[in-house]
Amino acid sequence: MAELVTSQESKSNNCRTKTNKKIVRIDLTPMVDLGFLLITFFIFTTNMSQAKALDLALPKGDEPSIPVKLSGALTIYLAVNNQLYYCEDTLASNGSNLVSASFNSIRKVIINKKSITKEKDLFLIIKPTDACSYQNVIDILDEVNINMINRYAIDNVNETENAILHKVLKKQ
């Protein structure tokens, strides 16, 4: 039990005499209890941190496909070990138009494509392979947001593209 004790001395006519006054005892236990109750209330009602989520608009299953001009399409393939490949238009059957890039240089490629293409024709297609990491997908989506690309899609790599990517990776 906590208590507060006070006493006083008084001076009268050059001699010191003690006056006996009643000792005041204040019990601080209820105030300590109230303090802990307030602390626990604020701990339980406060959000410590908000979950960070990425804004991603997913199409509904019954929506029609969006027409894309091949001259405005830029396809980015995310491969294993932070490797990145891109091609403009469609992927050639032998992979001759597949260009290797890094996450540092892909911004220049996107800016260049954006500068030579009308905004309504520009469409970025992101195709992560099974071997790429989730962080690579987040990094490329960051590049999309940084470069303010309004039209983009995340698609699966089909078997033909996967075979071409494996041939290119074996050559390196």
Distance CA 104, CA 75 (A): 17
Is pLDDT above 70 for 107?
yes
With 0-12 / 13-18 / 19 or more C-beta atoms within 10 angstroms meaning exposed / middle / buried, residue 68 is middle
pLDDT value at residue 32: 92
Q: 18 and 93 share a domain?
A: no
Supply the range of the domain harboring residue 86. Answer: 70-171
**Digit-coded pLDDT (tens) for 19-35:** 677 777 888 888 999 99
Q: How confident is the model at residue 131 (pLDDT cuts 50, 70, 90)?
A: confident
**Digit-coded pLDDT (tens) for 39-96:** 999 988 887 777 777 666 666 766 667 777 888 889 999 988 888 999 988 888 887 8
Percent residues over pLDDT 70 in the chain: 83
CB-based contact 35:52 (threshold 8 Å): no
**Residues 112-129: what's their mean pLDDT?**
90
Domain membership of residue 112 (yes or no) is: yes
Domain membership of residue 147 (yes or no) is: yes
Q: 92 and 158 share a domain?
A: yes
Q: 16 and 93 share a domain?
A: no
pLDDT value at residue 109: 92
Q: 147 and 98 share a domain?
A: yes
Q: 128 and 81 share a domain?
A: yes
Q: 79 and 139 share a domain?
A: yes
Q: 102 and 164 share a domain?
A: yes
Domain membership of residue 63 (yes or no) is: no
Number of domains into which the chain is organized: 2
